[in-house]
Amino acid sequence: MKLVKTTENNNLRDEDLSLGHLIKRVCFVSDYKTGISKYEEGFYTLYVKTEDGTTVRAQIFNIARFIESGLELISLKSKFIELECIPQIHAGQYSLIVENIYTIDQQSVKSPEKFLGIVEDVENLYKECVELINRGGVNMLSPVYTSKHYSSIYNDKIGGYIKFIWEWYYNVGIYSNEFSEQDSDMILEVLKNCVVHYGRYLDRISLLDVITLRDKLDILKQLPVSVKANTSDVMEDALQSILGIGEPEHLLAHIVYSAFKQTEYIMKIKEEWKSIPLGGVSVSEKRTLKKYC
C-alpha cells in the first residue's frame, strides 16, 4: 500500500460502484472502524463518500501493508484520499475492496462540497427550528449548525444536525399535545436543552474522535438549573440517556429520549438505503432492508 502523492482528480461517483473492475478515484473519508473476519483475521473499514454524497464501505484486508505504509486510520478521517479499489456488491450493498491508498493535496479536489452535500433550504429550516423550540424565548440554538457537519448525522451532510433537530422536534410533538400545558412546556424546555447539549457532544467527538465517560459527565454538568420545579431533574434524566450513560425514568424523559432514538434510527436507514442497489438486501440483527422496487 504505497504512500504516493497524486495530482489527478477523478472523483468517485455512484455510477462507478457497479463497474466491477479496478478503478482509481478520489473520495472523502467520513469515518472508519476495525474488525475481525470469520477467519480471525483483522481488517479495516473506511466509510467513504462519493461525489453524489452516497456513503459506501471501503474494506482493507491487508492491514500489515497498510501499517507499513505509515498511514493511520485516524489521520484519514475527514480527509480526501485517492483509492485504487474494486467495486463490488457485498451483503446486499455496494462496497469497495481497497488495493492502494494515496494521499492527495486537499485543495486540489474538484467540487469538494459535492461529497459532503448540504441540507436543502437549511437557513429556513434553522429559522423554523428556532421558532418551534424557543417559542419566543431566548434563542439557544446557534446558527453555526447550518454550516457544520458530523459523520454520525446524515453522513456528514452540511446542516445535517438542523434537519435532525427539526425531525426530533416533530417526533416529540406527536406526544406533547396529550399533556397539560405545564407538562408540554416542560417537554419543550427539556428538548431545547438536550438539543443544545447534544450539539456540544457532537462538537467534542468530532474533535477528539473518542469520547470518554468523563467527557459525557462534563457535558451533563453544563445543563442549566431551571427555575421551574422538577424540570432540571427531567432534563438530566433525558440527556444522560441520550449520551448513553443511563436509562430514562420520568415519562417526559422517556418521550424525549424515545423521539431521539426514533429520529436517529430513521436517519440511519434512509442513508443506508442509498447504498443498496436495486434488488439488494441489507440484513442486521435488528432489521432487514430490501430494495425490491
**Contact assessment for residue 238 and residue 194, using Cβ atoms and an 8 Å cutoff:** yes
Q: What is the dihedral of CA 160, 112, 280, 47, to 10 degrees?
A: -80
What Cα–Cα distance (Å) separates residue 188 from each residue in 167, 182, 234, 280? 14, 10, 11, 41
Q: Where are the alpha helices (DSSP H) in the chain?
A: 63-68, 73-76, 113-116, 122-134, 160-176, 181-208, 213-221, 231-242, 251-273
What is the enclosing helix (H) or strand (E) of 47? strand 42-49
Amino acid letter, residue 89: I
CA–CA dist 176, 129 (Å, integer): 16
pTM exceeds 0.85 for this model: no
CA–CA dist 227, 238 (Å, integer): 18
Start-to-end CA distance of the chain, whole Å, equals: 39
Of 121, 199, 142, 81, whose CA–CA distance to 73 is shortest?
Answer: 81
CA 199 from centroid of its chain's CA atoms: 12
The pLDDT of residue 138: 66
Which domains does the chain possess? 14-114 (2.40.50.140), 118-273 (no CATH)
- With a CB cutoff of 8 Å and minimum separation 6, the contacts of 117 are 53, 155, 156, 157, 158
Q: Give ∠ CA 39-40-46 in degrees, rounded to 5.
A: 95
CA–CA dist 92, 283 (Å, integer): 8
Q: What is the pLDDT along the chain (293 residues), one digit of tens a residue?
A: 444 444 455 899 999 998 888 999 999 998 888 877 665 578 889 999 999 988 899 999 888 777 777 778 878 888 999 999 999 988 788 999 999 999 888 888 888 888 888 899 999 999 999 988 777 566 788 999 999 999 899 988 999 999 999 999 999 988 877 888 888 889 989 999 999 999 999 999 888 777 899 999 999 999 988 767 788 999 999 999 999 999 999 999 999 999 999 999 999 999 888 888 888 888 877 789 999 88
